[in-house]
Structure 1
């Protein structure tokens, strides 16, 4: 029996947006990890005040790539510069279509001369895997899905993220001294209790920290060692709810809509993806509704990834990006919602769980952008939202309106008056966190 493809699903639904628009769909939450350990507020604060431990073992997909043509494949299908890409180094790997629309971004690490690991949202992993398998490349692939879709068994790797102002002190306590001096987004082999694994210098909440990555069989020992060492540093385990908020201040947009649903030349690619793939199931919802799914597409320049694009090599989408850098009309910003109005909508305790709704941003009686990620931030005393808005309104301090609600979708006018809550907001820079803007690469 032949399983339906993404293209089959689009054809049956009548359009990509009719397939993808799912009002009131369940909120995304990392699998396996409990929603809270000691309460999401305390867990969120720990990343900024003491030290937080996040379990990243279960919610991301790993693609292991090996072979003499692995680097050529990555160079052909991503925008990044691979000159001097060292073993142990990591990159934010950005993948685009021929039209220059973002497919996705993931973390790429080089584990050997011909060994690489892509980890993150499945969209760009599927893209790389497809073109590696159908093109003239001597490569092999091994896929480890996230724990929500893996058909039994444990993950291949453990990943524990330690971050916060006391993270480096905790690391010294656990390892009996400082780790090897390591540049941002580089890793070093480390040993703890006879187990050898890697420490990647990285953080997600605009704070210093590490990700510890190794074979699954060693994961529980490493986790317990970090928890024991953390008792004297105020370590807090982070649950799924708080973890999902820690990208807001660092300015990273986790799940932009991949630009794969409409181009005729990508029909074969859509036919290679199952209807029940991530790209077929990832719901769109919120107050920003358009019948044209291309209104949800993004480019690397809009998301702040321009510094990652290297024109020193040919890659799919190069020509489109050379044009896009001259004509980008939207900019990534942080919206700071008015605290009183936010409490009017979500209550005194701002009981809004992290949400990836696409919400309207309005100014001068018109739609000027949309949001991607919205959540309450305890230490800010209000709600922050990452958005793309017209450059005319992107200057910090500009006042706009955030529109909260869920449009029913096809059959209702996109601009219909549906009684949505409107909240005053002020545009600020992204990343909002100063350390994320200035400190991540201070050790490069």
Structure 2
């Protein structure tokens, strides 16, 4: 089965990108080097083609009630122009996907699922919408998403669209949405709109100095901030509480999975925690974690932090912050400790 491509595939190849299979899409993993691209975002501004992400619109008089029921957040608390990160759970409290919900107005919302979860989330919404007066429209195949990230991103956005946007706020320009969101922990925005406009935005921002960034640096950037990666840090059997993301839950409303989470709160369970390597080495997903010479877990995420120049990772463990552990890297036990996230 052939891989899907974004409309910028030709531009990526012309820029020398190494293309890889990511969730069924041919995507750029890097253009130069992951460390160079990572540092460009931390110090200046980078631009990501993330058009593999989904765009599902929910409209109608019951949109607020429906999305409050479907997600961990009470959308009645949101105002027009607000963006909110939340989780979509099944009845057991397990995470189906994490997403950002965009409040375009009281009757229209945009939900952005991860690329590998688009059809599953669309079907989940449809199957749970029978009691609500809503229209669910999946426009993922006709919309693009570009992420402009880094300390220089606000300046470039101002030059490009003569606008600014606050963190987790959005503005609309006809069919285009500009939101103060991202996956790097830096200042910046995401631009979402019809596919036929993607080249205009990409080429203008690159000409202004935005550095094209691949998925490799996107992963190290998000890991330094402790952000979850779908399919890696959660695979369908983990709860929001276990991922250490209880802050995305508004307990004062009814939502799918709420009762399961309330029950879990009364028990003891491992939580996704930060792992900082104290010895020299590079952590990778799947590395074994040991405590008192006993294997207790494995890393769900792991890499070398270009900023800290140390190995960092995430793992589901039940240990206090500061606990000494070892991680097996290429057959050797390397020293590390449990730390809070974000790493920086």
TM range (shorter): 0.7 to 0.9
Tell me which protein shows more strand as a share of its residues.
2
What are the superposed Cα offsets for residues 30-71 of structure 1, whole Å, 9 maximum, x if unpaired? 83332222222211111111111111112x223222333333
1:216-295 equivalences in 2 (<5 Å): 216-230=195-209, 235-255=210-230, 256-259=233-236
Count of residue pairs brought into register by the alignment: 319
2:77 to 84, 100, 106: 84
Paired with 2:46 and 2:111, the residues of 1 have a C-alpha distance of 25
1:388-403 equivalences in 2 (<5 Å): 388-390=316-318, 393-395=319-321, 397-403=322-328
Point out where structure 2 has 5 or more consecutive residues left out of the alignment: 1-19
- Structure index of larger Rg: 1
1:102 to 74, 89, 95: 95
Shift of 1:387: 1.9
Whether 1:42 and 2:36 are equivalent positions in the alignment is yes
TM-score by length of 1: 0.65
Output the aligned Cα RMSD.
2.6
Shift of 1:110: 2.3
Corresponding residue for residue 213 of structure 1? 192
Paired with 2:207 and 2:312, the residues of 1 have a C-alpha distance of 33
8 Å CA contact retained: 2:281, 2:329:
no
Sort the Cα spacing of 1:37 and 1:30 in 2 relative to 1 into closer, same or farther, 3 A: farther
Shift of 1:336: 1.8
What are the superposed Cα offsets for residues 400-424 of structure 1, whole Å, 9 maximum, x if unpaired? 122357xxxxxxxxxxxxxx44332
Point out where structure 1 has 5 or more consecutive residues left out of the alignment: 1-25, 146-154, 260-296, 343-351, 406-419, 434-444
Secondary structure of 1:244 counterpart: helix
Secondary structure of 1:172 counterpart: helix
Whether 1:129 and 2:126 are equivalent positions in the alignment is yes
Paired with 1:27 and 1:329, the residues of 2 have a C-alpha distance of 35
Paired with 2:122 and 2:207, the residues of 1 have a C-alpha distance of 36
Whether 1:309 and 2:292 are equivalent positions in the alignment is no
Sort the Cα spacing of 1:240 and 1:83 in 2 relative to 1 into closer, same or farther, 3 A: same
Paired with 2:24 and 2:36, the residues of 1 have a C-alpha distance of 18
Shift of 1:248: 0.2
Sort the Cα spacing of 1:99 and 1:30 in 2 relative to 1 into closer, same or farther, 3 A: closer
TM-score by length of 2: 0.82
1:89-238 equivalences in 2 (<5 Å): 89-121=82-114, 122=117, 123-132=120-129, 135-144=130-139, 155-176=141-162, 179-180=163-164, 182-190=165-173, 197-230=176-209, 235-238=210-213
Secondary structure of 2:190 counterpart: strand
Corresponding residue for residue 380 of structure 1? 308
8 Å CA contact retained: 1:338, 1:426:
yes
Paired with 1:336 and 1:251, the residues of 2 have a C-alpha distance of 12
Higher RCO, 1 or 2 (CA under 8 Å, sep at least 6)?
A: 1
Paired with 1:64 and 1:189, the residues of 2 have a C-alpha distance of 14
Paired with 1:125 and 1:370, the residues of 2 have a C-alpha distance of 32
Secondary structure of 2:242 counterpart: coil
Paired with 2:277 and 2:122, the residues of 1 have a C-alpha distance of 35
1:327-342 equivalences in 2 (<5 Å): 327-342=267-282
Secondary structure of 2:26 counterpart: coil
Secondary structure of 1:158 counterpart: strand
2:335 to 419, 424, 428: 424
Secondary structure of 1:217 counterpart: helix
8 Å CA contact retained: 1:30, 1:240:
no
